[in-house]
Amino acid sequence: MTKIAIILGSTRPGRNGAAVADWILDIAKQRSDAEFELVDLADHPLPLLDEALPPSFGQYQNDHTKAWASRIAEFDGYVFVTPEYNHSTTAALKNAIDYLYAEWNNKAAGFVGYGADGGVRAVEHLRLIASELQIVTVRAQVALSLLADFENYSVFKPGPHHRPTAEAMLDQLVSWSKAMQPLRANA
């Protein structure tokens, strides 16, 4: 069975991302074409990249890196849930991504962004990063507005129009994750 991680990319206290990640997980779990699991970066505390060698060497020295590599390697695809901070993604998510290389290769990713402008600039940056890691990204993405989809900027109340977009993103993600399987098998 295809396994997809929904990666909660914020570790900030009082973060809005937990409700967003739970929402997309609830939608995903209604599907029968893949298994979905939440991976919360708060459960994987990684110091600012502290490996001596580049991740492309695959020679991890630290136990936290080895544990993170093992966790990420389990999955065939990813949904990155990211807020937008200063026109980009979070430092915690970028750091977690930068720790690894081969574990990301030949997999697929979809995105759920949130922020004043729907997190679209954070997602744009993640698409560039994903490309370097040989992750294919799907076109459909969910863009949630802090103004329209959060009451008082903190209580998540997504508009009903987001569900079809989320389902389209998941459709594309599962298809691409499965399509990339032969490349993973040959790697």
Number of domains in the chain: 1
pTM: 0.97
> What is the predicted pLDDT for the residue at 104?
98
Helices (H), the chain: 17-28, 63-73, 91-98, 120-132, 162-179, 181-186
- Comparing C-alpha atoms, which of 124, 125, 128, 138 is closest to residue 166? 138
Q: Which amino acid is at 13?
A: P
Quote the pLDDT of residue 179. Answer: 98
Q: Considering Cα of 180, then 82, then 10, then 98, what sign does the dihedral take?
A: positive
Q: What is the predicted pLDDT for the residue at 82? A: 98
pLDDT at 155: 97
Can you give the residue range of the structural domain that contains 101? Answer: 3-186
User: Are the C-beta atoms of 56 and 101 separated by less than 8 Å?
Assistant: yes
pLDDT of residue 187: 81
Q: What CATH number corresponds to the domain at position 165?
A: 3.40.50.360
pLDDT along the chain (187 residues), means of 10: 98 96 98 98 97 97 98 98 97 98 98 97 98 98 97 96 98 98 92
